[in-house]
A and B are shown apart, each in its own frame.
Chain A
Amino acid sequence: MNPASAANVLSRDEIASAIRGLSDANWIRLRKVADRYSRGRIEANDLLQEAFTRALDTRTCPAHVSVVKFLAEAIRSIADGIGEKVENRLVLVPVAKTGGDESEAFNVPDTDPDCETRLIEAEAADTFRGAMLELFTDDPVARDIVEGTMEGMEAEELRELTGLDMTGYATKRRLIRRRIDKAFPEGWKP
């Protein structure tokens, strides 16, 4: 790293100092972000601890980025990484030995999920989707936003779909988050 770019990123001590200086509200903010990303695969506390460790030792925090945003992004990245790791892990399958003393050989199977895995995943996805949509049966606009989001639509597309302006969309997003928070206070647990 050259001196110019080094000056634009926070040092380990500066990151630690910024984290120590977080307000109560920002600690609650991070806790809530971790709850939302835990998704039953990792505890929120573990996500936070891993984010702290990476913030101090492996990730680079640009000086202009708030440390709360930086940690929230680290939490997201860790959670998404865990999801990918679990679903793309390679299972090494020993092949039949054909003789000789050489160490056992392994086949590396296709990483595409097999039929059974697909069925289980589809069932889990349906359960999750159903549980989320069920919360908004009385509010078709909120329901459209939740459904569209799960389908991968961006905010602009969702505003176009629902006819909401920026403020209306933000208000509806707040309602959605509060309702999901209330229904699943510690995040989704399948």
Chain B
Amino acid sequence: MTGSKHPGRKSMENLSKLLAEDIMSASDEDLLAEFTESGGDPNAEAERLRALFEASIVKANKSRLAAARAGAAANRNAPRFSTACSPQDARQRLRSVLNRPGIPQRLTLAARKENELSDADVLGMLDDLRDLGLLPEEDDLA
């Protein structure tokens, strides 16, 4: 450990690991007996930790919800093709996107009829593709 910048921390980490290995290999009976011997109530402690876990789930779900909300808000605030792109440019972008592999066949059928689509339809399709996450980032209007 002489090469370590923080030998003190490494000592603690190494010893903690040894102790944790022993805890992991101890039998259920031994662990419960030790806990009781030290004045603890295993059942009450397990209940407390179960409650801690349920609280963690609520916290994690709230974080996921907040992230989803932030993502949705960012999406709503993103510039729309319908207002930020010329119709000619939009048609070219739509053609290049729909020609990429992995785009659903239903959409590529629409591309064949592109000449029949109005400018507004083309711009709307680009907006829809982006909302669906089918528009590669380099084609986005960031």
A interface with B by C-beta (< 8 Å): 16, 19-20, 22-33, 36-37, 39, 45, 48-49, 52-53, 56-57, 68-69, 72, 76, 79-80, 83-84, 87, 112-113, 121-122, 124-125, 128-129, 132, 145-146, 149-152, 170, 173-174, 176-178, 180-182, 185, 188
Does A122 lie within 8 Å of B16, measured CB to CB? no
B52 & A129 in contact (Cβ 8 Å cutoff)? no
Of the candidates B17, B20, B46, the one having the most CB atoms from chain A within 10 angstroms of its own CB is: B20
The answer to whether B15 and A24 touch across the interface, beta carbons within 8 angstroms, is: no
From known contacts A69-B24, A125-B11, A182-B38, infer whether A57 and B60 are also in contact, taking CB-CB under 8 Å.
yes
Q: Known contacts A28-B42, A150-B14, A170-B25; is A177 also within 8 Å of B52 by CB? A: no
A72 with B7: in contact, given A45-B52, A181-B34 (CB under 8 Å)? Answer: no
B49 near A30 (CB under 8 angstroms)? yes
The majority secondary structure among interface residues of chain B is helix
- Residues in chain B within 8 A of chain A (CB atoms): 1, 5-26, 28-29, 31-32, 34-35, 38, 40, 42-43, 45-46, 49-50, 52-53, 55-57, 59-60, 63-64
Check A36–B16 contact: CB distance below 8 A: yes
Q: Known contacts A16-B57, A56-B60, A57-B60: does B13 contact A80 (CB below 8 Å)?
A: yes
Query: Given A53-B56, A152-B1: A28 and B8 within 8 A (CB)?
Result: no
**What are the residues of chain A within 8 A of B7 when measuring CB–CB?**
121-122, 125
CA distance A31 to B43 in the complex (A): 13
Q: Which of B8, B40, B45, B55 is in CB contact (< 8 Å) with A121?
A: B8
**Which chain A residues border B63 with CB–CB below 8 Å?**
53, 57
**What CA separation (Å) do A16 and B10 show in the bound complex?**
33
Contacts of B60 in A (CB 8 A): 52-53, 56-57
Please name the residue on chain A nearest to B32 by beta carbon: A25
Nearest chain B residue, comparing its CB with the CB of A83:
B9
Query: Which residues on B sit within 8 Å (CB–CB) of A24?
Result: 32, 42-43, 45-46
Q: A19-B53, A53-B59, A181-B38 are in contact. Are A152 and B10 (CB under 8 A)?
A: yes
